[in-house]
Amino acid sequence: MIRTVVLDGYTTSPEDPAFGIYAALEGARIYPRTAPEEVISRIGDAQAVLTNKVVITREVMQACPQMRYIGVLATGYNVVDIEAARELGVTVTNVPAYSTQAVVQHAMALLLQSMSRVAEYDVQVKAGRWAQSSDFCFFAAPMEELAGKTIGLVGYGNIGRAMAKAALGLDMRVLVHTGHPPAEGAPGVEFVDFDSLLERSDVVSLHCPLTEKTRGLIGASSIEKMKAGVRVINTARGPIVDSAAMADALRAGRVACYMADVLETEPPRAEDPLLTAPNTIITPHVAWAPRQTRERLVGVAIDNLKEWTEGRPRNVIC
């Protein structure tokens, strides 16, 4: 039996982090959370390690020479020193495209909330405003239609493509900026340069990876190029948006609403300017996390481990 340890089971199985959806990992040591100073001792003589956000550095690998496999419980694998893993002969796998529909659902929920103001109306009705109304309805918050508006998608991977499909289903016009547009194009989608996307979009939605090129991509200069009253959605990574610049734009009324499932630092700093900026909708990095999505994620991760033990590794990063 492969000696296996899960370093942060809570993230993917908050209902029962010590067991839950890891039931198939017979004999594994499963920890809800692992602090940086606990990583080496908890891995110990384990041959296989599963991690979601716990960082596995070169130092950790060198201190745990029995470790031959790291399964990342996510699509992104920046929590692992890939160069060190390659040098030390440690196989690293990930779980691609497990959360596409969940993230699109969440991004659209954020956008629909900003347009239809469902939460505000629910609060007002339960506070008695409707019962006190002289009319069959009452107006507590302005609403707008999405049909006919233009959404600009930055990135066109699995999530970007699914987001385009959802937007087209709502009769929106879809612009896309990507470094790798498909040669055959896509029905209803117009591929444009970044500045054109900023200038023409009523909604800008981010679906690109965090790289040195995209860090701070949405900052003061790019916001200045956007339409006045633009709405911005970020379900990608927090640092793609300059928080201070976005907060300034919200206070000035240049950006009508900033909707984010991610922030620059997570959990956020108390002084994060977006927490006190007007017209924001912020959720705690949960777009990926419906139960079905988490079950799919862990199921693929366990299959990855099984295939590796049988000499048929898949979803291999290195």
Q: Which residues are known catalytic residues?
A: 237, 266, 285
Q: Residue 90: left (phi > 0), alpha (psi -120 to 50), or beta?
A: beta
Sign of the Cα torsion 34, 40, 41, 43 reads: positive
What is the Cα–Cα distance from 135 to 233, expressed in whole angstroms? 35
What is the Cα–Cα distance from 277 to 256, expressed in whole angstroms? 11
